[in-house]
Amino acid sequence: MNLRPLLLAGTLALAALSSAWADETGLQWQWRVEPSKVNAGDEVEIVFSAAIPEGQILYSSDFAAELGPRPAKFVFEANDSVELQGPVTAVQSQRRKDKVFGTEYTYFASRAEFRQKVRVLKTGTNVTGRIDGQTCQEKDGVCLLFKEPFSVRLN
């Protein structure tokens, strides 16, 4: 009996469920520019923050893992209005070792904050993209993947 079609079907079903559950994470995202008054040539920070439901964690962006938890990833759409200055930084993430995979990871509980420095080339436009990430329930270990679109106005 060839199990390959069954494995493929199971994998596709799991991926579909992960996508369907993405809105069920309960995360409440907000983003803003600091400082809020922006001029061409300024270096500013885009601040991404999330309120995390009690009993859940959100994996941070400041660790690498080949197996196990998925780090948060920020994907910025091409934009001639800004120039990214380095990677996204996680603010005060916590560190823990995964019991199953034996790897260290960073995460947030209750509240998360990430910052991206940018040099503003033009004002009056939006910086757009998405946040790809994973949350997990601490109690039962149920994890959900998500993709959260964002759009930040440069006044």
Query: Which residues, other chains included, contact 35 with Cβ-Cβ below 8 Å and sequence gap of 6+?
Result: 44
Predicted local confidence at residue 23, as pLDDT? 52
**CA nearest 65: which of 34, 103, 91, 93?**
103
Domain 4-154 sits in CATH at: 2.60.40.1250
Retrieve residue 148's tokens: 């959260």
Residues of the chain falling short of pLDDT 50:
2-22
Q: Where are the domains of the chain?
A: 4-154
89 to 46, 53, 56, 126: CA distances (angstroms):
11, 22, 21, 21
Residue 68 pLDDT = 82
d(CA 44, CA 57): 28
SS3 assignment, position 91 = coil
At 1 the pLDDT is 52
